[in-house]
Amino acid sequence: MKPSSIAEPRSLQQWLPDIVFGFENLTSHKLRSLLTMLGMIFGVAAVVAMLSIGAGAQQKVMAFIEQLGVRNLIVEAKESHNWQELQKVRKNSPGLTLSDYQIIRKNVSDIKDGTPRKRFTPGKLLPKPQQDTPIVYGVEPSYLEISHLRVTEGRFFDGSENEAAAPVCVLGAAAKDSLFGAAAAIGEYIKINEQWCHVIGIVAPQLAPQTEVSGVRTEDMNNLVYAPLNAVLYRLEDSQSFLKDEIDGLYLHLASPETSTTDAEVVRGILNSSHHNAGDFNVIVPAELLAQQKRTEQLFNTVMVAIASISLLVGGIGIMNIMLAAILERTREIGVRRAVGARRWDIIRQFVIEAVLISFAGVSTHCVARWMVHHCDNQLNSSGIRGFHFGGVDIRHLSGGQGCAARSR
């Protein structure tokens, strides 16, 4: 065979008979062609599904880290849960205190704003929660901007209410549903331990981590009750407060994210000095977590593509085996074509066309199926159900914050 015979340009009219003949050969063996296409269908589906699931999970974590704020520093206290642990820690450290917060604010000039935090789970709560008991967060009004909260109903408490330790509170989305269901909550009262609190606002839903993210608490960020810090310290402290630090968290809002790493080292140095290297706190830098998560995502995607590509390779091997079997079955046809003048390249081109048609049909079938799933998802979204994505990343839930009420019915 001359090399020039392979390189000869062919027009569409010359390719069309070969394509039609290849299509006829495939349709004459429907079952064999279908089984061969399944290799490509499931191969492409495996690649898309694995990348979708991996990307969805990674994006969820990255979205939560971004929610923490790349310009924030978060200090979390490692609290003792029994008297023996507390005694061991208190020999070296007084725990996280309001004095620590004030010293940090005076010595770190890059801090634009901040708030201490006192959290606890109330022993008694009225109305009785329908699900998990909400956690109480005692914070200052600046927490609203630092944590990017959005008030959907009512308002957030202000500085005067914090100074007066006013018995007011703002509910998270899940806490509102758990305590009041579909009923209005603004203007109502809830009883936290022995203190009645006036509900003045409700915040929009937030992302919550499904697994621990480098020291960040794995708690439902929607099942929270926000109250003024002074009200929590002086009105709502529970019977186990003597086992805990004066405060258990600090949120520090920086002027620029570029200084977050150096400022974090300064904060660690201040706390290590006052706590005598007791190691009873964690300093969380969301900007570092975000950069680390992006590097992890790149590595994860590379591994996922390599694993999923094996499915495509298996599909290609399946097509190769079927085409080899087809060649052995059609030796008489090949001999007749060679006898009437067909060249070797003509025979090779015919089988290559059939292999391409099988691959194209398999990929097209997968794309049509994926379009149908996407179309159904759009229809569900337009009817008020959202959160279902191809690849099984998210689950459906009713919009408008009525999920709990719908489940209770």
State pLDDT tens for residues 258-282: 888 888 899 999 999 888 888 788 8
Summarised one tens digit per residue, pLDDT across range 137-169 is: 999 999 998 888 899 999 999 999 999 999 999
Q: Is the pTM of this model over 0.75?
A: no
Look at the block and give the residue holding tokens 């390719």. Answer: 15
Lowest-confidence pick of 204-218, 224-238, 320-334: 204-218
Q: How confident is the model at residue 246 (pLDDT cuts 50, 70, 90)?
A: confident
Contact 181/404 with Cβ under 8 angstroms? Answer: yes
Burial label, 192 (beta-carbon count in 10 A; 0-12, 13-18, 19+)? buried
Q: Is the pLDDT of residue 390 over 50?
A: no
Please tell me whether residue 62 adopts helix, strand or coil conformation: helix
User: Which tens digit of pLDDT belongs to each residue from 14-47?
Assistant: 677 777 877 777 777 777 777 777 767 777 777 7
Residue 112 scores a pLDDT above 80: yes
Q: Is residue 102 over pLDDT 50?
A: yes
DSSP string, 325-356: HHHHHTHHHHHHHHHTT--HHHHHHHHHHHHH
- pLDDT tens profile 181-207: 989 999 999 999 889 999 999 999 887
Tokens 């079955």 locate to 329
> What is the pLDDT of the chain when averaged over all its residues?
78
**What pLDDT band is residue 405 in, cutting at 50, 70 and 90?**
very low
Rounded (5°) CA angle 177-131-57: 85
- Position 156 scores a pLDDT of 95
**What percentage of the chain exceeds 90 in pLDDT?**
25
pLDDT attached to residue 406: 37
DSSP collapsed to 3 states, 195-264: EEEEEEEEECCCCCCCCCECCECCCCCCCEEEEEHHHHHHCCCCCCHHHCCCCCEEEEEECCHHHHHHHH
Report the pLDDT value the prediction gives residue 3, as an integer from 0 to 100. 45
| Alpha carbon distances (Å) from 274 to 92, 94, 123, 251, 380 | 9, 8, 32, 18, 56
Residue 215: its pLDDT value, please?
A: 59
Q: Report, as an integer, the average pLDDT of 40-60.
A: 71
